Amino acid sequence: MNELQKKDLKYIWHPCSQMKDYETLPPIIIERGNGVYLYDNEGKEYIDIVSSWWCNLLGHCNPKINEYIKNQLDSLEHVIFANFSHEPAIQLCEELSKIIPSGLKKFNFSDNGSAAVECALKMAFQYQYQTGNTKKTKFMCLTEGYHGETIGALSVGSMDLYAKIYKPMLMDTIHIEAPECYRCPYGKCRDNCQCECFEDAKKKFEKYADSVCAMIVEPLLQGSAGMRIYPPLYLKKLRSLCDKYNVLLIADEIATGFGRTGKMFAFDHAEVSPDIMCISKGLTGGYMPMAITITTDEIYNAFYADYNEGKAFMHSHTYSGNPLGCSAALAVQKILREDNILENASQNAVYLHNKLTNALKEHKNVGEIRHIGLINAIELVEDKTSKAGFDSKLRIGYQIYKKALEYGLILRPLGNVLYFNPPLIINKEEIDRSVDICTRAINDILSC
C-alpha cells in the first residue's frame, strides 16, 4: 500500500463500500484520464468500461468539454438561481427542448439524480393537491427499482440492499411486480412477448389508483437490479394506464438518457412521453454534478398563481443551474449533434454484443448476455438449466471484478451480474481488449 492509499484510508469513507474490503483491495488512486482509459499514480492503465458509475458519456478529459468549462470559468462560476439567470442555462434548455420527448417544456435544475427524483415526487404530489385531487397522496413503483438514496428516492425504490435498514423512515408506497424477462414466469421472450407480466400493474391500478398521485419507472432498464431489460411495449401500456386513472408518469432517465439505450432517451423506444422526466449522469458528460427535472406546461401552470395563494414550488438547491455544469452540458449537446456519436455507438453496440456472445455464450456459468445500446449485462448462474444464481455469500461477481482489475479493466459487478456500460466513444479495438480481459477474468474464477 502506497502513502496516498494510506492517507485515503485515514480520512475517507467511500460510497457504497464495506470499508473492511479495502484492507485487501486498497483504493486505486487515479491520476489522470483520457478517453475510455484511466491511469493510476503508479502508471497502470484501466479501461473504464462502467463509465465511472455510468456518467462518463464521451470519454475522460474530452477536449471540447474541457474548453467549454475553461471558457465559462473566466466569466462566471456560480450565481443564485432564484430571480437570477444566465445565458448557459437558457441555451441549455433551448438545446434540450429539441431532443426530449414531446410535451415536456419546463426545466427545474438541481445538482444530482436523487435530488431530481425528490423534486419530481414533490412536484407530482403538489400538482395533484393543487388540482383538487387531495386524496392522491401515494406513489407507485416497480419492484427491484432504484431511484437514488435520499429518503423519498429510497421510498420509491425496491432494492433491500439500499433501503431495508431505513424502512421505518420511508414512505408507504405501492409496488408493482417488475418485468423479469430472463426468468419470465410466463415462459415468454422479451423480443416478441405481449408483456403478459403487465397483469400485476392492471390489478394494482384498479385497487389503488384513486389514492396514487404518480408512478415512477426506470424506462426499459432497471440498472441496479442487474441491468434488467424489458420491452418498450410495457411503457406504452403503462402510459395508457396512467392516463386512464389520472396518475402522473415519472420517467427516471438518469441512467438511460443521452444515448445509453441506443436512442436519445429510453422513452423514445416506446414513442410515448412521460409527464415528468429526471435527467443527470450523462447530462454533463460526467464532468459536473447537475440534474434537471423536466415537466409539462399543464403541471407548471398548476403552480402559477399570485404569491399569496401559496402555490409556488418551494423547492431549491444551492447549486441549481450552475453555469459550469450548464457549459459542460452544452458541450455534450454540441458533440452529440455534430460528431455522429449515436450513429457510431449503434454500430459498435452490435459489434460489442456479438463479441461478448461469441466469447462467452458457451460458458457453463453464463446464463444470459442481454443488451440495449452499448449496455451489455452478463448474468452468471450456478446452473444454466434452472437459472439458479450463485449464493451471494460467495461474491462471485466481486471475485471476477478483482481479477479484472489486475488485468486493467474496471468491471464493477451488480451481484451476480457483470456489465459493460462504456463511454459512447469506445472503439472496436478498445472493445476487443475489454472483452478479452473480461473473458480471461471470468475463466480465472469460473473455469470453462
Q: What is the pLDDT of residues 316-368, one digit of tens each?
A: 999 999 999 999 999 999 999 999 999 999 999 999 999 999 999 999 999 99
pLDDT at 163: 81
pLDDT at 307: 96
Residue keyed to cell 453496440? 349
pLDDT at 56: 98
Indicate the burial class of 325 (C-beta count within 10 angstroms; 0-12, 13-18, 19 or more): buried
pTM for this structure? 0.97
252 shares a domain with 154: yes
The interaxial angle of helices 63-73 and 323-338, nearest 10 deg, is 150
pLDDT at 164: 84
301 shares a domain with 195: yes
pLDDT at 448 over 80: no
Asked which of 290, 306, 338 is the last residue of a domain, the reply is 338
- Output helix, strand, coil percentages for the chain, rounded to the nearest 5: 40, 15, 40
> What's the pLDDT tens digit per position in 41-96?
999 999 999 999 999 999 999 999 999 999 999 999 999 999 999 999 999 999 99
406 shares a domain with 321: no
Residue keyed to cell 462471485? 396
Where does the pLDDT of residue 206 fall: very low under 50, low under 70, confident under 90, or very high at 90 and above?
A: very high
Helices vs. strands in the chain: H and E counts, helices first: 15, 15
pLDDT at 179: 96
CB atoms within 10 A of CB 141: 24
Distance, CA of 442 to CA of 300 (rounded, Å): 50
Indicate the burial class of 40 (C-beta count within 10 angstroms; 0-12, 13-18, 19 or more): middle
Specify which residues 340 forms β-bridges with.
none
Task: Write the DSSP symbol of residue 25.
Answer: S
Where does the pLDDT of residue 197 fall: very low under 50, low under 70, confident under 90, or very high at 90 and above?
A: very high
| Structural domain count, the chain | 2
Q: Which of 276, 310, 315, 314 is nearest to 296 (CA)?
A: 276
| Average pLDDT value for residue range 151-156 | 94
Asked which of 338, 356, 389 is the last residue of a domain, the reply is 338
Where does the pLDDT of residue 121 fall: very low under 50, low under 70, confident under 90, or very high at 90 and above?
A: very high
113 shares a domain with 31: no
177 shares a domain with 229: yes
In terms of phi and psi (left: phi > 0; alpha: psi -120 to 50; beta: otherwise), the region of 364 is alpha
- Cβ–Cβ under 8 Å, residues 151 and 117: no
CATH number at residue 73: 3.40.640.10
Mean pLDDT of the chain: 97
Asked which of 338, 355, 385 is the last residue of a domain, the reply is 338
β-pairing, 212-217 vs 174-176, is: unpaired
Distance, CA of 241 to CA of 118 (rounded, Å): 23
| Structural domain range at position 138 | 67-338
> What's the pLDDT tens digit per position in 261-282?
999 999 999 999 999 999 999 9
Element spanning 348, H or E: helix 341-360
